[in-house]
Amino acid sequence: GQQVMQIPQYQHVQEGEDFTTYCNSSTTLSNIQWYKQRPGGHPVFLIQLVKSGEVKKQKRLTFQFGEAKKNSSLHITATQTTDVGTYFCAGLRGAQKLVFGQGTRLTINP
Amino acid sequence: DTAVSQTPKYLVTQMGNDKSIKCEQNLGHDTMYWYKQDSKKFLKIMFSYNNKELIINETVPNRFSPKSPDKAHLNLHINSLELGDSAVYFCASSQDWAQQETQYFGPGTRLLVL
């Protein structure tokens, strides 16, 4: 079945450092979505990428979709304590179910 | 107003009991989902309904029975609860099945089976 792998599983950084999480799919995706889950909270939609090679930015967050539409990354510049949480990618292939990666849990030392 | 609501927020029960979790969305969406998040934070889809019809059933034990009385509601009934059912259960909705764009998650129901 469709697999979406996400690395790293955990990342601890000093406040102000950059952070990147990577997402890889075994199959070509029609789109990829990113979600953030704060500790004790629920996943909240961040962004959707659809086009090959697409890059989108939200303030300090940069999202990329690979040329082959099999991988994606989320990069946070100069992390802040409000960035703490688990970041999930979720891939969609055709009209099938959205498959979530395992998530990357980000913790930050202030 | 809460877009996707779930009740109860917390559920502590004994093994062998039967319990239900309710979900409602006021977004006018056609598609609703149930996800299970285990202690390692892994999010796994259980069921998906589109306009009250079951679309996905991800090899979930038949002790779990979803019911959608209308497209704004998707409830989850669990029979004969087991220790391994302890998890956070999230309800979610999206505009429709074909697009599967943004999924809006409820606050979750934290189930602990003793």
Whether the per-residue pLDDT at B103 is higher than 60: the answer is: yes
Chain A, nearest residue to B42 by Cα: A102
Residues 2-61 of B with CB under 8 A from A: 40-45, 48, 56, 58
Residue B34's pLDDT is what?
Answer: 95
Section A64-81 average pLDDT: 97
Q: Which two tokens stand for residue A47?
A: 């962004």
- For residue A59, give every residue at least 6 positions away whose Cβ sits within 8 Å of its Cβ, in sequence order, or none: none
- Say what percent of chain A tops pLDDT 90: 86
CB A9 within 8 A of CB A107: no
Whether the per-residue pLDDT at B79 is higher than 90: the answer is: yes
CA distance A29 to A90: 10
Condensed to tens digits (0 to 9), the pLDDT of residues B9-67 reads: 999 999 999 999 999 999 999 999 999 999 888 899 999 998 888 887 777 899 999 99
CB contact under 8 A, A33 and B102: yes
A102 in contact with chain B, both atoms CB, cutoff 8 A: yes
Q: How many domains does chain A have?
A: 1
- Say what percent of chain A tops pLDDT 70: 95
- The boundaries of the domain holding residue B19 are 4-113
User: In this structure, what DSSP letter does residue A81 have?
Assistant: G
Q: B1 pLDDT band (50/70/90 cuts)?
A: low
Whether the per-residue pLDDT at B99 is higher than 80: the answer is: no
Whether the per-residue pLDDT at B80 is higher than 60: the answer is: yes
Condensed to tens digits (0 to 9), the pLDDT of residues A10-50 reads: 999 999 999 999 999 999 999 999 999 999 999 999 999 99
Q: How many domains does chain B have?
A: 1
CA distance A19 to A79: 7
CB A41 within 8 A of CB A107: no
Q: A85 pLDDT band (50/70/90 cuts)?
A: very high
Cα dihedral: B93, B68, A40, A5 (round 10): -60
Residue B100's pLDDT is what?
Answer: 65
CB contact under 8 A, A103 and B98: no
CATH code, domain with A84: 2.60.40.10
CB contact under 8 A, A43 and B90: yes
Angstroms from A25 CA to nearest CA on chain B = 16
CA atoms within 13 A on the CB side of A29: 34
Which residues, listed in sequence order, are joined to residue B33 by a DSSP beta bridge? B48, B92
Low-confidence winner among A46-55, B74-83, B98-107 (lowest mean pLDDT): B98-107
Residue among B71, B58, B74, B57 nearest B20 (CA): B74
- The boundaries of the domain holding residue A90 are 4-109
CB contact under 8 A, A43 and B100: no
Residue among A36, A22, A25, A30 nearest B100 (CA): A30
Instruction: Give me the phi and psi of B83, to 5 degrees please.
Output: -55, -40
CA distance B18 to B111: 12
Whether the per-residue pLDDT at B69 is higher than 70: the answer is: yes
Map residue B84 onto helix, strand or coil.
helix
Residue A79 to residues A18, A35, B8, B12, Cα–Cα distance (Å): 6, 17, 35, 37
Residue A1's pLDDT is what?
Answer: 56
CATH code, domain with B29: 2.60.40.10
